[in-house]
Amino acid sequence: MSIARTHGMRSLSALNARRSFPALFVRGGTSNGLVIERRHLPPQRQWDTVLPAAMGSPDLHGRQLNGLGGGISSTSKICVLAPSTRPDADVEFTFVQVGIKDGALDLAGNCGNMSSAVGPVAWDEGLVTDQASKVQDVGDSGSYREALVRVFNTNTSKIIHSRFRVSGDPPAYCHEGEYEMDGVPGMQSKITLSFLDPAGAKTGKALPTGNAIDLLTLPDGSRINASLVDVSNPGVFIQIDDLGIRGADPATFTPQAVESDPSLKARLEAIRQAGAVKMGLDPRTESVPKIVLLFPDSGSADIDIRCLALSMGQAHKAVPLTLALCLGAAANMPGTVAAQVRRARSESDANRPVVIGHPSGTVEIGATFNNGHIVSADLLRTARVLMKGEVFY
């Protein structure tokens, strides 16, 4: 047997001995991460033996160099997909936030950005049946076709309708288009997400305490007003002024400024945990609720409310999408902190989407109410499959 052949057989044997699973690496909105079919993973109770290593966690240096994670919360994400047996859903998915430094798997909440990738991936991977009935022409020319995928999110037990562009025969997801979203370079086709009946995703009520504003008592004895709202994902909303930071300017009060202030971050975590307790949630769970700081002035006639959010203990460079949905709904709830700082509107503009300013730009959130009940929260995203192959762990 030749040396070359022996070397080749040993290499093949070594490759087969490695642990791997099929996956896609996908950008969804301003996040990216792995999308995996559930059938390729062990039972859920064993996910902690597979998923952290795939993302490069735990990593005490916070870089995830030994995996596919990007070292920040918005790039350490996983979506696990499977066909659904529910009559109101085509596919179901479980969102997993992977702890960067500790490798902990957090399934407490959903990710709105990564939700945008679920419909297109499920469609192209054959997880959606009877596809012909789910495609319709949009516009008069018939040159633009759109598919509808009904998604059940297991983290929140809520339904999301995902509408996106398809082309070809058979129709496949087409990311090319003319929609531009802040935080992502270039233009692509839009994905419309409708979060149905989004109130009470984790607590059962839009206002878990029944109050528009609660007074939170912190471990040091100080107190602060906060709105505790649960729409799509729970959020703790506070005014920056109430932190003693007067005249905060979005140009200087940035995610980088927050990250460089350990005492401020510690205080914000104490507020988040106090809010979690009031909402009946586990304060040790980093992913829910998240805390959102609201500027006293949007700084623009085109922006209704401006925010800076923290996710998994890190200042977010844009805004977690489910928190934007929550904020958009809160801005329409009388008496909340969000409603108090929201830019005043004329009656003719009252029903227009709420424009939320964040460190990377803006996002528009539409909410449909019926007798005070939130029927749906809607927004636009883009998504693109970046890679498909085997993940070794």
Distance CA 293, CA 309 (A): 6
Distance CA 272, CA 310 (A): 10
- pLDDT above 70 as % of the chain: 94
Q: Is the pLDDT of residue 2 over 70?
A: no
Give me the pLDDT at residue 53, please.
Answer: 98
- Tell me whether residue 147 is exposed, middle or buried, using C-beta atoms within 10 angstroms of its C-beta: 0 to 12, 13 to 18, 19 or more: buried
Indicate the SS3 state at residue 295: coil
CB 266 within 8 A of CB 322: no
Distance CA 220, CA 132 (A): 60
- Which of 13-17, 71-75, 281-285, 332-336 is the least confident region? 13-17
Question: Sorting pLDDT into bands at 50, 70 and 90, what band is 246?
Answer: confident
Give me the pLDDT at residue 12, please.
Answer: 46
CB 375 within 8 A of CB 195: no
Rg over CA atoms, the chain: 22
Tens of pLDDT, residue by residue over 122-142, are 999 999 999 999 999 997 767
Give me the pLDDT at residue 139, please.
Answer: 75
Tens of pLDDT, residue by residue over 9-32, are 455 445 555 799 999 999 999 999
Residue of 134, 138, 147, 141 whose CA lies nearest to 174 = 147
Mean pLDDT to the nearest integer, 192-213: 97
Mean pLDDT to the nearest integer, 276-296: 97
What DSSP line would sit under 194-233, residue for residue? EEES-BTTTTSSSSTTS-SSEEEEPTTS-EEEEEEEEESE
